[in-house]
Amino acid sequence: MKENKFEDAMRELEEIVKRLESGDLPLEESLKIFEKGVGLSRFCFNKLEEAEKRVSILIKDEGGIKREPFEYEANEGVDKN
């Protein structure tokens, strides 16, 4: 996969989900974009894991590093109404 930014990959993944949810695509095209979506999903997951590790390293406690869970709100920014 090319050097995509996380935000670009997420935007593209959201578009893929919208297209798949529409149900208007032929099977072959659906499979093709689904495969691309899986790749983007893995890329984003790996980027989030890297960020989590970096954040945990930066959290320090008296005399050393204190590992705390990284809390990610999956629905952050999503209108719940």
Average pLDDT taken over every residue of the chain: 80
- The strand ranges marked E within 1-81 are 60-61, 64-65
pLDDT, residue 10, reads: 95
**Which percentage of the chain shows pLDDT scores above 90?**
54
Domain boundaries of the chain, sorted by first residue: 6-65
- What are the tens digits of pLDDT across the range 34-68? 999 999 999 999 999 998 888 777 775 555 666 66
45/42 Cα distance (integer angstroms): 5
pLDDT, residue 70, reads: 61
- What are the tens digits of pLDDT across the range 6-23? 999 999 999 999 999 998
